[in-house]
Structure 1
Amino acid sequence: MKAVAAEIASAELDALIPPHGGVLRDLYLPTTEAAALKRHSASLPQWTLNQRQLCDLELLLNGGFSPLQGFLGRADYDRVVKEMRLADGTLWPMPITLDVDEAFAASLPEGAQISLNDVQGTPLAVLTVEDVYFPDRIAEARFVFGTTDRTHPGVAELLDRTGPVYLGGRLQGIQPPAHYDFAALRHSPRQLRDWFRQHGWDRIVAFQTRNPMHRAHRELTLRAAEQVGAKLLIQPSVGRTKPGDVDHYTRVRCYRALLENYPRDRATLSLLPLAMRMGGPREALWHAIIRKNYGASHFIVGRDHAGPGKGTDGKPFYDPYDAQRLLAAHEHELGIRIVPFPAMVYAANRDTYLPQTEVSSQDDIRDISGTELRRRLHSGEAIPEWFTFPEVVDILRERHPANARQGYTLFFTGLSGSGKSTLAQAVLARLLETGSRPVTVLDGDEVRRHLSKGLGFSREDRDANITRIGYVASEVVRHGGIAICAPIAPYAGARADARQLVQAHGRFVEIHVSTPLEVCEARDRKGLYAAARAGKIKGFTGIDDPYEVPSSPELRVDTSQLSVGEAAERVVEWLREQALA
């Protein structure tokens, strides 16, 4: 009886799945109307979208975020944050918001229209503003991510780099964002649905990934597709993923190579311009809805789906199977079937991959972690064929050639007088004493005289200064060099932006020079602290302007407890341990 009941329940769920995704809300205007709106947009207030906003806009306009028709207003936002539902009760787990600064929001008249542009100034859409509101971002972090720990990349983005005001309203699409890479693999939901119809695919299981795929992933996806009698859609996120991830250009080349190892006409590849939040269970639910909009009938949910790793307490942010449980609880209203799947592991004694749930105590399980893979790529050590395909190894070795030294940035931050510039010079000397790698020093005072000449000391100007330092450092790192930066960098958000720029190409090592304020004041030869306390200097860090202490730097040193030489040795020793020096 139980088996019959399960079959009936499964049939009922299948009946709830609309063919190729159901209703799709495409927000682009017809060609003539779009051209007229584009001309009109030149007279409107202009907002330049950041990378996350650009990804969100693309998926709003092409229907990937159906049923949304714009950025969330207050009523929708509040209910999504607390209950994972829009104001009308529709299931929707992730707040899709347009954040702006207070000055821009204050400049808008009631019912304003604004032009939403890419970084080149190209108008992509017009937003009719229906709601302007101040969110409680701490509460948003707690509800959406389950934590306020800034080690979580979604929390750090929300609390440190998100504007304080949200604009809600309906969108009218003018044109899609321009993409010049992998054009043949970029499909809108409507295009992908049409492709499925043309090829006779009516049962499609989608697979989400943000990492290169290897043999374990192939085995998992093939088994999942066979289990439900479906064709396979590999749809990696190529918008913004987790800082430090392999760049999407390399990943897509790996996916194309891997696709050749699937049975003919059983799998296809399409790219998703999604800005991930790494939100674990909620993110998995969001991913499922998006895949339904793209025409999939089934969605694979594996172990620790969209998990960002561990917090400052050393514990994972989410239980490995929280996402599977949350999706199972909402499967009846999702409009897409969930295919939960355990991790696949290699049993050397059987020379095959097995679901983790089928492993016995006699099995000899082998694995290569991401860290171990990077070590082997760096050293030139062999990568076994049981782990991945030779074609994938070749692509990864091109991107990470053997014995090539990875570029990195040493980012010293601390109060004025903490000793960060002196320590940076000592570390520079030690690195040059023992090696021949090119090193570029971006000292705070020197940068102010040249790269950031003309900037003041408002929060906006200070952030711009750190962004410039981060950009130059990222270019040094991209070419395999070492950048040593020593600004005060008082704000966590600006430091996080610099980290993100650098980690696109190499390592970012944040070193908090944690010398106490009273020691810094005692060392002050220029009398700046005294002038600030007397009110002669305004906005001085540590006196009347805050220094936001780094929550989880790679290193923390106190030059009131260590000599400069001892502190430099600690930094260099850490670099040796990380195989960076």
Structure 2
Amino acid sequence: MLTPHGGILQDLIERDASIKSELLAETATLKSINLTDRQLCDLELILNGGFSPLTGFLNQADYESVVEHMRLASGQIWPIPITLDLFKHEAAEYQAGERVVLRDPRDDAPLAILTIEDLYVPDKAVESEKAFRGDPEHPAIRYLYDTAGDVYVGGDLQAIALPKHYDYTELRKTPSQLRSEFGYRHWDKVVAFQTRNPMHRAHRELTVRAARDKLASLLIHPVVGLTKPGDIDHHTRVKVYQEIIKKYPNGMAKLSLLPLAMRMAGDREAVWHAIIRKNYGATHFIVGRDHAGPGSNSKGVNFYGPYDAQVLVERFSNELEIEVVPFRMVTYLPDEDRYAPIDEVEDGTRTLNISGTELRKRLRDGSAIPEWFSYPEIVKILRTSHPPRPSQGFALYLSGLPNSGVDALSYALQATFNQFSGSRHITLLDADNISKDSLAFATGELVRSGAGVIIVNTKQVASLEEIANYKKVVSKSGSFILVSVETSKEDCIKNDRKGYLSVERSDVEAYSFPKEADIKVNFSKESINVGIQKIVLYLEEQGFFKF
């Protein structure tokens, strides 16, 4: 078994166990910082040693060295900035030398005490370019500018407790625990496999081949922290992993979950993943094609080359010590009923494959997924968690001025939808009667349960920013469909029998029709029936209704 990165496993929980009571007593006298979801993931891996040799969040010297050279100031390889970011008004409350409690935002539990070494303002433009290659559409860069704070706080940590998890606790092994288990099992060589997606037969085949090639055991080590927006939720994926682990030869493979917040940083992230798996006790690491890449931008340009990650990890392989196992894509040979590496298949041999896009389509429309591609138990899990479109919920947001016909359209749509066959319940929500936060939450929960939700403002006018915020929240649960009711203001005033437009209103004056609406109707030119027809046909085309 390899030594941890830097020579020592920095298990701060074990290191500080003897002074835990003193640290807990001290927390009553200190200011506190409630961590974000990303910071919580980072903290857990600092405290349990997964981020060895780190013992805290990066100070300015380490941060700048990591961004520029992929090394800590000491010279040790470290490719990803691990930073505690605060907004300026928050950072103004602290100063160098101060001790601060870091708390779990879910239950306010104290997890660690940070001794602040420095507070510094990062050059986000440099971090974007150097660490993530500069494309503003890269998810890590969008997080950097849209979510992260303006000031970074560096300093070492003293551990009180790991964040508490209530799901899959038996699978959440720390580096110390896994290393001990590998020793107990006499696993001298361990191949680690990184994934953030469900696994199918091809994944099982390539991992078994890697283990056999290296005469090693296998660690299936999926990420269950933050991954790419839009990825399948970790509960569904873990159920899949629990099924597929049964398909390996007895005693060959071990499943453990990694609480990592991915940055989708491609080649740099692959080096990071290799370091983490070395700390967890692996001796070999499978580096895939486009490893940890977020795909392509809106123009279809890939953020990373397909083999950039393999090249960079190989470049550092001597220093890292962990051995890289390049991902070998396998394909199904139907005439032989087996999988084989694609580079070993003779020309003219018949092959079959299902892309990720095709798989999502088959899940969406309920069409067959063959057993040669995935196991029936796994397909059942995916279908339960991601039912076909006719069983999925959706939110239909009607945007328009008062008296534009939005209220009449909403009632007509509810009556129309409810007469269709099927089990989907249709709910009408008047946004004027619900707080903004409650509206987004309630809509998301209804959509998640498979309901159809029609949202309308009958008196007020939601700004485009408010609608965008609703969409951001609801889209995590299902489809958000924006309908722009573009009846002219003059006609709205003619229909103003309730006095909604009798006085000058800032929300009305500032309103503009959303350019990115999915459906547009105009009751100055069209009837309600035409509007209903447009919406029904759109929903049928998207697969929500079948006639």
Alignment match of 1:509 (pick from 467, 476, 480): 480
**What does residue range 7-18 of structure 1 map to in structure 2 within 5 Å?**
18=2
Q: 1-side partners of 2:160 and 2:195: how far apart? A: 30
Aligned-pair distance for 1:128?
1.4
Answer with 285-294 or 240-249: which moved more: 240-249
Aligned-pair distance for 1:96?
1.1
Alignment match of 2:133 (pick from 133, 146, 149): 146
Aligned pair 1:37/2:23, yes or no?
Answer: yes
**What does residue range 397-436 of structure 1 map to in structure 2 within 5 Å?**
397-400=383-386, 405-410=391-396, 426=409, 429-430=412-413, 432-435=415-418
* Aligned 8 A contact 2:404 2:523 in 1: no
Q: Deviations over 1:223-242 (max 9, x none)?
A: 11122221110000011222
Letter in structure 2 aligned against 1:96? I
In the alignment, what sits opposite 1:75? 61
* Aligned 8 A contact 2:396 2:483 in 1: no
* Aligned 8 A contact 1:348 1:363 in 2: no
Q: Deviations over 1:60-109 (max 9, x none)?
A: 10011111111112222222223322222222111111122222211224
* Aligned 8 A contact 1:428 1:439 in 2: no
In the alignment, what sits opposite 2:332? 346
Alignment match of 1:311 (pick from 297, 313, 316): 297
CA separation of 1:419/1:289 partners in 2, compared to 1, >3 Å: closer, same or farther?
A: farther
Aligned-pair distance for 1:153?
3.0
Aligned-pair distance for 1:379?
5.2
Aligned-pair distance for 1:339?
0.7
Q: 2-side partners of 1:19 and 1:392: how far apart? A: 36
RCO higher in structure (CA 8 A, sep ≥6): 1
Q: 1-side partners of 2:370 and 2:255: how far apart? A: 25
In the alignment, what sits opposite 1:235? 221
Aligned-pair distance for 1:310?
2.3
Q: 1-side partners of 2:517 and 2:326: how far apart? A: 36
In the alignment, what sits opposite 1:461? none
SS in 2 for 1:60: helix
In the alignment, what sits opposite 2:463? 488
Aligned-pair distance for 1:155?
2.9
Alignment match of 2:123 (pick from 136, 145, 163): 136
Q: Deviations over 1:442-468 (max 9, x none)?
A: 555433xxxx3xxxxxxxxxxxx45x4
Alignment match of 2:444 (pick from 451, 474, 477): 474
- Number of aligned residues: 526
TM-score by length of 1: 0.80
Letter in structure 2 aligned against 1:18? L
Q: Deviations over 1:94-149 (max 9, x none)?
A: 11111222222112244222211112111111111222222233442333222443
TM-score by length of 2: 0.84
CA separation of 1:469/1:402 partners in 2, compared to 1, >3 Å: closer, same or farther?
A: closer
**What does residue range 164-243 of structure 1 map to in structure 2 within 5 Å?**
164-243=150-229
**What does residue range 18-29 of structure 1 map to in structure 2 within 5 Å?**
18-19=2-3, 22-28=7-13, 29=15
Q: 2-side partners of 1:170 and 1:370: how far apart? A: 42
Q: 1-side partners of 2:41 and 2:384: how far apart? A: 28
Aligned-pair distance for 1:26?
1.5
Identity of aligned residues (%): 44
Aligned-pair distance for 1:567?
7.7
Q: 2-side partners of 1:276 and 1:25: how far apart? A: 21
Q: Deviations over 1:174-215 (max 9, x none)?
A: 011111221211111111111111111111110001111110
* Aligned 8 A contact 1:132 1:168 in 2: yes
SS in 1 for 2:247: coil
Aligned-pair distance for 1:163?
2.0
CA separation of 1:140/1:19 partners in 2, compared to 1, >3 Å: closer, same or farther?
A: closer
SS in 2 for 1:365: coil
In structure 2, the gaps of 5 or more residues are 457-461, 495-499
Q: Deviations over 1:267-295 (max 9, x none)?
A: 11111011112222222121111101101
Alignment match of 1:527 (pick from 504, 513, 518): 504
In the alignment, what sits opposite 1:112? 98
Q: Deviations over 1:32-74 (max 9, x none)?
A: 4112211211222222222211111100100111111111122
Aligned-pair distance for 1:439?
3.7
Q: 1-side partners of 2:411 and 2:301: how far apart? A: 35
Aligned pair 1:577/2:544, yes or no?
Answer: no
Alignment match of 2:108 (pick from 103, 112, 121): 121
CA separation of 1:474/1:364 partners in 2, compared to 1, >3 Å: closer, same or farther?
A: same
Aligned-pair distance for 1:570?
5.9
Q: 2-side partners of 1:177 and 1:112: how far apart? A: 23
* Aligned 8 A contact 1:205 1:225 in 2: yes
SS in 2 for 1:265: coil
SS in 1 for 2:158: strand
CA separation of 1:371/1:38 partners in 2, compared to 1, >3 Å: closer, same or farther?
A: same
Q: 2-side partners of 1:203 and 1:420: how far apart? A: 71
Aligned-pair distance for 1:220?
0.7
SS in 2 for 1:349: coil
Calculate the aligned-residue CA RMSD, in Å.
Answer: 3.7
CA separation of 1:495/1:154 partners in 2, compared to 1, >3 Å: closer, same or farther?
A: farther
Q: 1-side partners of 2:252 and 2:345: how far apart? A: 28
In the alignment, what sits opposite 1:249? 235
SS in 1 for 2:12: coil
Q: 2-side partners of 1:419 and 1:232: how far apart? A: 62
In the alignment, what sits opposite 2:308? 322
CA separation of 1:496/1:20 partners in 2, compared to 1, >3 Å: closer, same or farther?
A: farther
**What does residue range 53-64 of structure 1 map to in structure 2 within 5 Å?**
53-64=39-50
SS in 2 for 1:490: helix
* Aligned 8 A contact 1:160 1:493 in 2: no
Q: 1-side partners of 2:403 and 2:139: how far apart? A: 26
CA separation of 1:102/1:359 partners in 2, compared to 1, >3 Å: closer, same or farther?
A: same
CA separation of 1:422/1:144 partners in 2, compared to 1, >3 Å: closer, same or farther?
A: farther
* Aligned 8 A contact 2:139 2:263 in 1: yes
Q: 2-side partners of 1:95 and 1:306: how far apart? A: 16
Q: 2-side partners of 1:310 and 1:110: how far apart? A: 41
Q: 2-side partners of 1:177 and 1:240: how far apart? A: 15
Q: Deviations over 1:393-444 (max 9, x none)?
A: 233344345686112334678xxx7789966974674464144533445555
* Aligned 8 A contact 1:509 1:554 in 2: no
Letter in structure 1 aligned against 2:542? Q
CA separation of 1:70/1:569 partners in 2, compared to 1, >3 Å: closer, same or farther?
A: farther
Q: 2-side partners of 1:368 and 1:434: how far apart? A: 34
Aligned pair 1:438/2:425, yes or no?
Answer: yes
Q: Deviations over 1:244-269 (max 9, x none)?
A: 32222222222121112111211111
In the alignment, what sits opposite 2:497? none
Answer with 522-531 or 232-241: which moved more: 522-531
SS in 2 for 1:127: strand
CA separation of 1:267/1:62 partners in 2, compared to 1, >3 Å: closer, same or farther?
A: same
SS in 2 for 1:366: coil
Q: 1-side partners of 2:316 and 2:397: how far apart? A: 45
Q: 2-side partners of 1:59 and 1:162: how far apart? A: 19
CA separation of 1:142/1:262 partners in 2, compared to 1, >3 Å: closer, same or farther?
A: same
Q: 2-side partners of 1:419 and 1:333: how far apart? A: 66
